[in-house]
Structure 1
Amino acid sequence: MSSENVTTESLFERSGEGPLAGVVVADFSRVLAGPYATMMLADLGATVIKVEGPGGDDTRSWKPPVRGDDATYYLSVNRNKRDVVLDFGVPEDLALAQELARRADVVVENFKPGGLAKFGLDYETVRAGNPSVVYASVTGFGGHNPQPGYDLLVQGLSGFMSLTGAPDGPPFRGGVAIFDVMTGLHTTIGILAALRHRTATGEGQQVETNLLSSALSGMVNQTSGYVAAGNVPTRMGNEHPSLYPYQPMATGEGELIIACGNDRQFAVLAEAVERPEWLEDERFATAVPRNRHRKELEPLLLEALSHRSAQEWYALLTERGLPCAPINSVAQGVQLAEQMGLDPVAEVGSGDRVVPTVASPLRLSRTPVAYDLAPPRLGEDSDLVRAWLSAPPAGEGSAQ
């Protein structure tokens, strides 16, 4: 990666040397899955240039909540990026977008399938001018299906909502756009794998992900149960189909999540609640019969838990090494991570533009993630990006 003059050098400045330092990413994605993937790349040191139309990313208007005038939804997935406004309906702007794709190491887009072909920004056209490009396409249902993809639609279509909620109640969506985030992660993995292949061979390639495939993969044991055994799972509330106890349970005051993943952990629970006789009962001592006889064990377990509060049980059981947890609010979850020394909040930006964001979960000992740039205002770097794209490139091929 290089720049043409001192004026545009700041476009590529980052603190530290992340593992993706020098990689230029043209980000033509919007909303969540694509921007989440490109933020992961930016955190790892890539120079990500976010391209927005004159109206901006949809999530800029997804309010409340807000921080000042900014939608926190937008802030959540756009740190460490540069921002340029390009109107594809204006020939000069479209030419700059095409030049950006020609110089980029990575292109990420989540337009409707075929939507970029009329602008000469589809994979085949970009590859013709940039053979080593890694071109990632994120769709709802694959590149051959034009149906728009939103996380809520996929939660319904994938079967996920049929698993979520009480057995005798309506299906529920997840509290976050889990499949958008999952698809973003899958996209990042695909891009990193393609970059590794390019380093070894010099060859670029297209990376394709879609929300429905990510959802089916992400439901792991539930989809596997159908694919491998023909089992069609149904809603079980907070219960687990294969483990017991593995759910929130009422105590003398409040609910406590108890997670017994094996017989040793159940033995710890039985001793802690002073019911050692359960370990001699063939219905309860081992996992398979315990799961089968959960309705017989449940009232006994609830009675035993009724003698202490959730917080008291949490302290006692945690001390004995049993996985358990109270049900926290989001605020309490962040506070807990702080108490555990996980540093969950990262402030990005400088001067009057410092924004607290949720820190990357990645911890790299030699090439740590960097938090340099606050989520950009619309068109914040337009002059800088336009100047770089308008100047003669330092060399042919992708910018690296």
Structure 2
Amino acid sequence: MKNFIEQLRVIDLSSVLAGPSVGMFFAELGADVTKIEHPIYKDVTRSWKLASEDKNSSFSAYFSAINYKKKYTSLNLKLSEDVLRLKELIKHADVLLMNFKKGDQEKFNISDDTLLSINPQLIIGKINGYGNESDRVAYDLILQAESGFMSMNGKPDSGPIKMPVALIDVLAGHQLKEGILNALLNRTQTQKGSVVTVSLYETAVASLMNQASNYLMNNHIPQRIGSLHPNIAPYGEIFSSKDDKLLTFAIGNDKQFAKLCNFLELDEIPLDDQFSSNVARISNRTELEKILAAKIMQHDAQEIMNYCLKENIPAGIIQNLKEVFETPLAKAMIREEEIDGKLTRRVSSVSFKTKEA
């Protein structure tokens, strides 16, 4: 017997990353997902290739990352007959995904009211850049710049730096998933569809979390401090081991700090007024980093990790992606599929696990 998600029919009119990631989420959970592209001007991410990728391929690794287990079809919504074909599909759909510019829905004669008149139970999920009333084109880099993320990211001498993944797009996709799931739940009670809209800008601001509250409550404007945490120390400092590995620690309380110091034969440090509390360690983190670095250099990385794992001290060796995908947990998240006769690989969009009672 099919579960709730497996019974859903999803039409994915979206492109780039955020919208398609939502389509992939539902597809991976078993929904019937059809991705619709223009017959000539297909999803632009098909062309976003590394220099090493096959230039003649019909898709890229980037495209593969957020398109999995989908059916593909082509429609030109400037043609009335193709709009009619879309409307026929809408009659039997549960969810419609899109990220059109303002005014495009009306231009294509597929306004929200039109779609809901065809299928009153349809859930319409939409992503835009800067809210429903803005027609501004939005890309993740620009959102990172304008929402404060880039101003905080980097080192004091590096200048602002964007994050190496399109994080705002990823987070907007998560917001839309949550909104659609909430709408589907409501539909079971009301039998009515709805429109769920997510903007990249509001997603970015909502994701500022503790940094936002640091400013809103204390007028603290975060500065670029690399991997360091503004509220916790030692947290994010990068240390070199005897065997030239790089490690970092996320020391969240005094007990963890004392245990780390015990291993490093620095038992006097947690008793020192400069380092005895988190607030004190924040004020004196540069001196503390020097003291810890000298001791960490005397040990191999795995020796340190073995102790930290045993004592529940948050620590990790910094790994590249080759090393990441050599671990069992990451390997288990790899999903393979043939697209246009070629093998594609990506990581799962679903990281939760459900066990029935």
Per-residue displacement from partner, 1:266-310 (whole Å, max 9, x unpaired)?
111111111010121122122111212212322111111121233
| Corresponding residue for residue 160 of structure 1 | 149
| Corresponding residue for residue 79 of structure 1 | 68
Q: TM-score, normalised by structure 2?
A: 0.92
| Corresponding residue for residue 116 of structure 1 | 105
Of 318-327 and 356-365, the range deviating more from structure 2: 356-365
State the shift of 1:316 in Å: 3.0
Per-residue displacement from partner, 1:156-211 (whole Å, max 9, x unpaired)?
01010001111122111101101101100110110000000001111211101011
Q: In structure 1, how many angstroms separate the alpha carbons of the residues matched to 2:219 and 2:330?
A: 44
| Corresponding residue for residue 212 of structure 1 | 201
State the shift of 1:114 in Å: 2.2
| Corresponding residue for residue 25 of structure 1 | 10
SS at the partner of 2:16? coil
Q: 1:120 to 1:102 in 2, by over 3 A?
A: farther
Matched, 1:202 2:187: no
Matched, 1:251 2:237: no
Any conservation in 2 of the 1:38–1:188 contact (CA below 8 Å)?
no
Aligned pair partner of 1:271 in 227, 252, 262: 262
State the shift of 1:351 in Å: 11
Aligned pair partner of 1:58 in 44, 50, 60: 44
SS at the partner of 1:314? helix
| Corresponding residue for residue 362 of structure 1 | 352
- Counterpart of 2:353, as a letter, is R
Aligned pair partner of 1:129 in 118, 121, 126: 118
Of 299-308 and 159-168, the range deviating more from structure 2: 299-308
SS at the partner of 2:110? coil
Any conservation in 2 of the 1:164–1:172 contact (CA below 8 Å)?
yes
Matched, 1:300 2:286: no
Q: TM-score, normalised by structure 1?
A: 0.82
| Corresponding residue for residue 13 of structure 1 | none
Q: 1:236 to 1:249 in 2, by over 3 A?
A: same
| Corresponding residue for residue 217 of structure 2 | 228
Count residues with an aligned counterpart: 350
Per-residue displacement from partner, 1:36-82 (whole Å, max 9, x unpaired)?
01111111221111110012111111112547823111111111111
Any conservation in 1 of the 2:150–2:160 contact (CA below 8 Å)?
yes
Q: In structure 2, how many angstroms separate the alpha carbons of the residues matched to 1:85 and 1:285?
A: 64
Q: 1:100 to 1:155 in 2, by over 3 A?
A: same
Aligned pair partner of 1:100 in 89, 99, 121: 89
Matched, 1:318 2:309: yes
| Corresponding residue for residue 26 of structure 2 | 41
Any conservation in 2 of the 1:26–1:50 contact (CA below 8 Å)?
yes
State the shift of 1:341 in Å: 7.7
SS at the partner of 2:71? strand
Any conservation in 2 of the 1:87–1:93 contact (CA below 8 Å)?
yes
Identity of aligned residues (%): 32
State the shift of 1:350 in Å: 9.8
Q: In structure 1, how many angstroms separate the alpha carbons of the residues matched to 2:20 and 2:142?
A: 19
Aligned pair partner of 2:279 in 267, 285, 288: 288
SS at the partner of 1:284? coil
Q: 1:92 to 1:50 in 2, by over 3 A?
A: same
Larger relative contact order, structure 1 or 2 (CA cutoff 8 Å, min sep 6):
1
